Amino acid sequence: MIRPLILSLAALCLAPLGLTQPVAIIGEKVWTGTAQGTLTNGVVVIDDGRIVSVGTGAAPAGMAQVQAKWVTPGLISAFSRTGIAEVPGEKSANDTGAGGSPFSAALNAADGFNPDATPIAVTRLEGFTRIAVAPDARSKLFAGQGFLADTSGLPGSIFKQRAFAFLVLGERGAALSGGSRPASWTALRGAFDDVRFFTARYMTHNDGNVLTRLDAQAFMPAVKGEQLILIEARRASDLEAIMDFKQENPMLKIAIVGADEGWRVADRLAAMNIPVIVDAFSNLPSTFSQLAATSENAARLAEAGVTVAIVNLDDSSHQARLAAQIAGNAVANGLPFDTAMQALTTAPARIFGMEGLGMLAPGARADVVAWDGDPLEITSAPTAVFIDGVSEPMESRQTRLRDRYLSLDESERPLAYRR
């Protein structure tokens, strides 16, 4: 009901302009994510879904303008369950995992994605334009296939299916494999064998040593090094074991999720060029796999030269948006501001091979966010969000509820009539 003026203005100007009209997005600060660094009084011109120019000086005449304190690329959530669970606590409204399925590695999270899911708009409103979405492991350490999507909430917002295979090792992987780390490594190596001897092994059976026929088929690109493998692991020794495995299988493309003790093996991660996706809030010995967890993990990993993306692992379906707050806290604990911004933009783009995303550069896709302040600051919020050049609605089911209840006056009619 009471909404910032700039929003309604932006919506008014842009709605009729559509994709083909250019827009100048002007920021007192423009964080580009490129060698241009942070521009003061910068101008980003977008047209036809792409960024046309990024520079300083006066905005070109004759086009719509959006003014902001800060302008950044659309943020990228590097690990989430956004859009595959409407209410995680309700089985009927949760497609993150399938403990009762005979299948594992073949489970394609994209089949569960609902662009109408309410967390999509909630996440977009906080500046996230792209999400990497992973299934959860429930029956085996092989969770299935993850995908990449935008947060427009429109049909067709998945832009890459089967973008990565997601596996769970460490304590959780052990539990899913029968009770121990040796069991999970036996299963993982066995699965690799199933894939490598696929034709022979499945000639007469539907089952391999570890994987069903469908699972082995789906896991094949990962084993061949054609698909990214995301592995959840936390303890330093688990990370070492993964790096040993990568050394035995150098063709594999691996990134690690969690890596709470990553700082202890940071040099090797950097040398092996293995990126990590961390929740920088993790600073407690919450399990015996996180004894060395520290709020300086992200800073120490980055210092060693590891590519770091920052996410919220605590509630990844509904609160992926908190990654910006988490990145701000990482800055307070030693991570340089630019690296923290990269952890929400260029780093995830690099990890997932998202071309033309996570940066403001001529020719890049026009995912742009206008902010009312420093994007990592908890009191800041986006005032406009563009995805592929389209000005997105700054409305969610949450803002609708807020607007309904800002006044509790029911003297004329019940609140249910207010929309």
Partner 1 sequence: MNKLLLSAGLGLCLVLSACGGSGDGKKKSDVPRIFDPFPSTYAAYPSGATLITGATVLDGKGGLIEGGSVLIEGGKIKAIGADLTAPEGATTINAAGKWVTPGIIDNHSHLGAYPSPGVEAHGDGNEISGPVTAEVWVEHSVWPQDPGFTRALAGGITSLQILPGSANLFGGRGVVLKNVPARTVQAMKFPGAPHTLKMACGENPKRVYGYGRGAYPGGAPYSRMGNVAGYRTAWIQARDYKKKWDAFIDGTGDEPARDLELETLAGALSGDILVHMHCYRADEMAIILDLSQEFGYKVASFHHAVEAYKIADKLAEYGTCSSMWADWWGFKMEAYDGIRENIPMVHNAGACAIVHSDSDIGIQRLNQEAAKAWSDGKRAGIDIPIEVAWQWLSLNPAKSLGIDGKTGSLEPGKMADVVVWSANPFSVYAQAEKVYIDGALMYDRNDPAIQPVMDFELGQPGEGDRK
Q: Is 304 in the site for partner 1 (CB under 8 A)?
A: no
Tokens of 109: 């999270």
Q: Is 118 in the site for partner 1 (CB under 8 A)?
A: yes
Distance CA 212, CA 333 (A): 46
CB of 351 to partner 1, least distance (A): 24
Distance CA 109, CA 90 (A): 18
CB of 19 to partner 1, least distance (A): 28
Of 304, 377, 393, 418, the residue at the interface with partner 1 (CB under 8 A) is 377
CB of 252 to partner 1, least distance (A): 27
Q: Which is nearer to partner 1, 3 or 224 (CB)?
A: 3
Of 294, 339, 342, 346, the residue at the interface with partner 1 (CB under 8 A) is 294
Of 214, 287, 350, 395, the residue at the interface with partner 1 (CB under 8 A) is 287
DSSP string, 267-315: HHHHHTT--EEE-TT--S--STT-TT--TTHHHHHHHTT--EEE---SS
Q: Is 401 in the site for partner 1 (CB under 8 A)?
A: yes
Q: Is 373 helix (H, G, I), strand (E, B) or coil?
A: coil
CB of 89 to partner 1, least distance (A): 3
Amino acid letter, 135: P
Which stretch, 100-108, 250-258, 268-276, 404-412, contacts partner 1 (CB under 8 A)? Answer: 404-412
Which stretch, 139-147, 244-252, 350-358, 375-383, contacts partner 1 (CB under 8 A)? Answer: 375-383
Q: Is 179 in the site for partner 1 (CB under 8 A)?
A: no
Q: By CB neighbour count within 10 A (0-12 exposed, 13-18 middle, 19+ buried), where does 216 fall?
A: buried
Of 90, 248, 355, 412, the residue at the interface with partner 1 (CB under 8 A) is 90
Q: Which of 77, 26, 69, 70 is nearest to 325 (CA)?
A: 77
Q: Is 379 in the site for partner 1 (CB under 8 A)?
A: yes
Q: Which residues pair with 387 in a beta bridge?
A: 390
Half-sphere exposure (CA, 13 Å, Cβ side) for 378?
8
What percentage of the chain's residues is helix, strand, coil (to nearest 5)? 30, 25, 45
Q: Is 291 in the site for partner 1 (CB under 8 A)?
A: yes
Q: Is 293 in the site for partner 1 (CB under 8 A)?
A: yes
Distance of CA 268 to the CA centre of its chain: 24
Distance CA 256, CA 365 (A): 27
| Residue 392 falls in which region: left (phi positive, over 0), alpha (psi -120 to 50) or beta | beta
Which stretch, 38-46, 200-208, 354-362, 398-406, contacts partner 1 (CB under 8 A)? Answer: 398-406
Q: Is 224 in the site for partner 1 (CB under 8 A)?
A: no
Tokens of 149: 């999507």
- Give the residues lining the site for partner 1 (CB under 8 A): 2-4, 86-90, 118-119, 122, 236, 261, 264, 281-288, 290-296, 314-315, 317-319, 322, 325, 328-329, 331-333, 376-381, 398-399, 401-402, 405-406, 408
